[in-house]
Chains A and B, each alone.
Chain A
Amino acid sequence: MRDAILASLREAFAAPAEASIAHGTFVVALAPESVVATATRLRGEFGFDLLQDVTAVDWPRRALRFDVVWHFYSTTQRVRVRMKTAVGEAAPEVETLTGLYGSAGFMERECHDMYGIRFRGNRDLRPILLYEGFVGHPLRKDYAKEHEQPLVPYRDQQ
Chain B
Amino acid sequence: MTATIPITPVTAAGAPAPRSSRSSAFEYLTTKKDELVGWGRKFSIFPYPFVTACCAMEFMAVSSTPYDTDRFGAALPRFSPRQSDLLMVVGTVTHKQAPILLKVYEQMCEPKWVMAFGACATSGGFYQNYATLLGIDRIIPVDVYVPGCPPRPETVIDGIMQLQDRIARQRHPIVNDAF
Indicate yes or no for A touching B, C-beta below 8 A: yes
Stretch at the interface among B62-70, B92-100, B147-155, B156-164: B92-100
Find out whether the CB atom of A150 lies under 8 angstroms from the CB atom of B98: yes
Give 1 or 0 for each of A127-158: 1 = CB within 8 Å of chain B CB: 00011000000100001111111111011100
Closest approach, in angstroms, between the C-beta of B23 and any C-beta of chain A? Answer: 41
Q: Count B-side interface residues using an 8 Å CB cutoff.
A: 16
Per a CB cutoff under 8 Å, which of A147, A152, A154 touches B130?
A147
Check A151/B140 contact, CB under 8 A, given A138-B130, A146-B129. no
Q: Which residues of B contact A146 (CB under 8 A)?
A: 128-130
Contact B95 A148 (CB under 8 A): yes
> What's the nearest-Cβ distance from chain B to residue A148, in Å?
5
Q: What are the residues of chain B within 8 A of A143 when measuring CB–CB?
A: 130
Q: What's the minimum C-beta distance from B55 to chain A, rounded to whole angstroms?
A: 21
For the complex, what is the distance from the CA of A150 to the CA of B128, rounded to whole Å?
A: 13
Residues of B within 8 A of A152 (CB): 95, 98-99, 102, 139
Q: Does B143 contact A (CB under 8 A)?
A: no
Residues of chain B with a CB closer than 8 A to A138's CB? 130-131
Q: Cβ of A155 and Cβ of B137 under 8 Å apart?
A: yes
Task: Among B96, B129, B139, point to the contact of A154 (Cβ < 8 A).
Answer: B139
Which chain A residues lie closer than 8 Å to B133 at the CB level?
150
> What's the minimum C-beta distance from A157 to chain B, rounded to whole angstroms?
9
Of residues 64 through 103 on chain B, the ones whose CB sits less than 8 Å from some CB of chain A are 95-96, 98-99, 102
Known: A138-B130, A143-B130, A146-B130. A130 touches B96 (CB 8 A): yes
Shortest distance from the beta carbon of B125 to any chain A beta carbon, whole Å? 14
A149 near B130: Cβ-Cβ < 8 Å: yes
Do the beta carbons of A145 and B130 come within 8 Å of each other? Answer: yes
Contact string against B for A residues 98-114, beta-carbon threshold 8 Å, 1 for contact and 0 otherwise: 00000000000000000
What are 15 A-B residue pairs whose CB atoms fall within 8 Å in the complex?
A130-B131, A138-B131, A145-B130, A147-B130, A148-B129, A148-B130, A149-B95, A150-B98, A151-B96, A152-B95, A154-B138, A154-B139, A155-B139, A155-B140, A155-B141
